[in-house]
Amino acid sequence: MASSKSIKNRIRSTKSIKQITKAMEAVSAVKMRKSEQVAIHARPYALAALEILRGVTAKLDTDFSTLSPLLSVSFNKPICLVIVTSDKGLAGSFNTNVLRKALAFLKENSDTEIIAVGKKGRDFLKRRGFNVIESFTGAGDFTELSETSPVAEIIKKGFTEKHWSAVHLLYTNFLSALKQEVTNRRILPFDFESLSAIVDGITPTRGKYANMPEVLGKDIEKSSAYVFEPSPKEVLDELLPALLEIEIYHAVLEGNASEHSSRMIAMRNASDNAGELIDALTLQYNKARQAQITKELTEITAGASALES
């Protein structure tokens, strides 16, 4: 059995760790609430942009895929995978879940070029020899649109110049403080199927904005025709890049909220485990102390008996 002094030192160090994890839990809870608020406030703008694009393309008589490079489909070309992870650790299974799904995707699609948003994803994939062509790090806890715009610009340039056959976005969608979902969504080329998937993916299931799709979404067949000025092509040339920026920004916001939520839960579990360890060590310390007292009493009794004899 360990000595009473060593057990007491372990109790002291474990209490210090518990104080740190409790503080980190509180900080993560505050950041999670702020990130959640930013993400939720950004959802109506993303939904509005998507509905406008869906309405515009539905009223075109021609094949709208010929109007913009972001709508065109290429074959036998590499795929681009955009992976959103965190720059920091101690976030539980947040990064692990994203990277596990990324490895499954890369296994099925060997000819894939990767854009990594976050240090954890970049370092993990580079160590394993994957083709990481760009990486973006250093975004704050509360990301601004200006921080994610370069990512959208790289994606736009790569899709139009390298003619990727598709661009997939892999990130963690924030559903609640206790539930996040890793989502793999194709964002380019734009089409009706991908637009519907995007709308469904960013629709809140409950809360203040739960009915927003019913407010913004209209029956396209019954809506009045759009009047294009100066032309459909020029309208789409302005709308599609802005929509791409919104999608990347929204994914990073969702990832931020999920990261802080996962870290909060991880620190809470760490605090609970530290508390249980302290209880176990305290019991062990009491047993060791009691054994030491019993030993001393036995020695005193034996000595007294020896003197009497």
Q: Which two tokens stand for residue 144?
A: 């601004």
Q: Which two tokens stand for residue 139?
A: 């975004």
CB atoms within 10 A of CB 268: 18
E-assigned strand segments in the chain: 79-84, 112-117, 132-136, 166-176, 179-188
Dihedral pair phi/psi, residue 159, rounded to 5°: -70, -35
Top-level class of domain 34-261: alpha beta
Tens digits of pLDDT across the chain (309 residues):
567 888 888 899 999 999 999 999 899 888 888 887 777 776 677 667 666 666 666 666 556 667 777 877 777 889 999 999 999 888 888 999 999 999 999 999 988 999 999 999 999 999 999 999 999 988 777 788 888 889 999 999 888 887 788 999 999 988 777 888 898 988 888 776 666 666 666 655 555 545 554 444 444 444 445 676 777 778 788 888 888 888 888 888 888 888 998 999 999 999 999 999 999 999 988 888 888 888 888 888 888 777 776
Total H helices, total E strands in the chain:
7, 5
In angstroms, rounded to a whole number, what is the distance separating the alpha carbons of residues 279 and 274? 9
First to last CA, the chain: 34
Domain with CATH 3.40.1380.10 in the chain: 34-261
CATH of the domain spanning 4-25+264-303: 1.10.287.80
Comma-separated ranges of CATH 1.10.287.80 domains in the chain:
4-25+264-303
Q: Residue 292 has what pLDDT?
A: 83
CB 95 within 8 A of CB 120: yes
The answer to whether the CB of 235 falls within 8 A of the CB of 17 is no
Q: What is the pLDDT of residue 103?
A: 95
259: Cα separation from own chain's centroid: 5
* Residue 89 to residue 119: CA distance in whole angstroms: 10
Interval 83-139: pLDDT, tens: 999 998 888 889 999 999 999 999 999 889 999 999 999 999 999 999 999 999 887
Say how far apart CA 160 and CA 174 lie, in whole Å. Answer: 31
* Dist CA 195 CA 34 (whole Å): 28
Beta bridge partners of 181: 173
The answer to whether 164 and 77 are in contact (CB under 8 A) is: yes
Pairing type for strands 166-176 and 179-188 reads antiparallel
